[in-house]
Copies of this chain bind each other. A is one copy, B any other.
Amino acid sequence: MRELGRRARAAARRVALASTEDKNAALRAMAARIRAEADAILAANEQDLAEAKAKGQPASFIDRLMLNPERLEAIAAAVESIADLPDPVGRVLARFERPNGLEIERVATPLGVVGVIFESRPNVTADAGALCLKAGNAAILRTGSESFRTSLAIAKAMGEGLEQAGLPADAIRLVPTRDRAAVGAMLSGLDGNIDVIVPRGGKSLVARVQEEARVPVFAHLEGICHVFVHGAADLEMAKNIVLNAKMRRTGVCGSAETLLVDRACADTHLKPLVTMLLDAGCAVRGDEAVQVADPRVTPATEEDWRTEYLDAIISVRVVDGLDEAIRHIESYGSHHTDSIVTDDVATAERFLAEVDSAIVLHNASTQFADGGEFGFGAEIGIATGRMHARGPVGVEQLTSFKYRIRGAGQTRP
């Protein structure tokens, strides 16, 4: 593992200085190698699948692990699409001239070495490696044990693509062992050779990484997202947004888990919203006022307000106006994504200013919490921390910066 770290650091230096053309050529070559080695990758996946089935893994797990020609083509196409993104390295973020004539530029630079720890989803090997490379970083990838053979075959194709473009294969390396101690080594930072860790997976993985990592982490532990239907909300708009925020996809981190309804409009809005959700197949857990609205509502406990269901379940509460809504969100939320529905602009602006979440919305669904929807292209995850990256972590968020100063012989008085 230590050797892996050293080699990644050396490779990071080379890809940091690589031209946009070379990086994009490498990404396209990687996609081509993934396509060329489809048989070997799918054969490795067969072995992983056989082992996972023998271990009695559930059908949903097997489905996430399974590759077929269509899925593998989607993986190759995703790598290619990252070549089409603008290069985030070298962007001039600010430029100013000082009275003494010094010209100062703040310019985007790579972060260094990114460690990505993920569960058994074969596509992450390609996605994460490609995003890191685009931002001029080296990547050390640790896959879940069950997709080890598949990920190794994909990583081999990526390394070949790098070398075809004259870049070091060490810039994207899969940890070459299923040994669980490797995760601990990555969390310790590999002698300073990992600059940031990105965990991709369930809450227990993210919690372990956040607890144990000795290097910065870009992650969100959970997405307890709220929709607040304010007293001045249009009912039809509120129904559309709430239904979409909860039910479009229930398993994504941007799905709504709690609906807050302003007491000022509860008489007119609460019952239609609750009935709509129930009729759409969503279980509703509510406070007393909500239970009155429909007999199918079950009581919500204190625990419900803190729960990310990731399922067709929602907790619903009546609150006394904006201030109580904000207090609820700040007390129980996870600073991920929260939305207000209202026709009152001043109220909306207070919500947007005072809710301390990575993403705050006015009159839009929480399911827009996604790098693609922001126009960032692919993302490596969504971060709820306040350090460095926040919200969707795309290629721009995988960069740092430095100051370049051009003078004409200036000395400091």
Tell me the residues in window 384-413 of chain A with beta carbons closer than 8 Å to chain B beta carbons. Answer: 386-388, 390-391, 400-412
- Cα distance A344–B326 in the bound complex, in angstroms: 58
- Cα distance A388–B360 in the bound complex, in angstroms: 22
**Closest chain B residue, CB of each to CB of A97:** B375
**Closest chain B residue, CB of each to CB of A365:** B411
Q: Which residue of the partner chain, among B241, B390, B410, contacts A364 with CB atoms under 8 Å?
A: B410
Is A405 a contact of B368 with CB atoms below 8 Å? yes
Q: Assuming the A-B contacts A216-B216, A391-B402, are A102 and B368 also in contact, with contact meaning beta carbons closer than 8 angstroms in the complex? A: yes
Is A150 interfacial (CB 8 A cutoff)?
Answer: no
Is B241 a contact of A354 with CB atoms below 8 Å? no
A240 to chain B, nearest CB (A): 5
Is A244 interfacial (CB 8 A cutoff)?
Answer: yes
Residues of B within 8 A of A400 (CB): 386-387, 390
Is A180 interfacial (CB 8 A cutoff)?
Answer: no
- Cα distance A112–B390 in the bound complex, in angstroms: 14
Is B402 a contact of A358 with CB atoms below 8 Å? yes
Most B CB within 10 A of own CB, among A109, A241, A361, A412 = A412
Tell me the residues in window 14-73 of chain A with beta carbons closer than 8 Å to chain B beta carbons. Answer: 16-17
Is B402 a contact of A367 with CB atoms below 8 Å? no
Residues of B within 8 A of A401 (CB): 390
Q: List 25 A-B contacts (CB under 8 A).
A: A13-B330, A13-B356, A16-B356, A17-B353, A17-B354, A98-B375, A109-B356, A109-B386, A234-B409, A248-B412, A352-B404, A356-B402, A360-B402, A361-B404, A361-B406, A362-B404, A362-B405, A364-B409, A364-B411, A365-B410, A367-B412, A368-B405, A386-B400, A387-B400, A388-B388
Give A contacts to B, CB under 8 Å: 13, 16-17, 96, 98, 102, 104, 109, 111-112, 195-196, 216, 234, 237, 240-241, 243-245, 248, 330, 348, 352-354, 356-365, 367-368, 373-375, 386-388, 390-391, 400-412
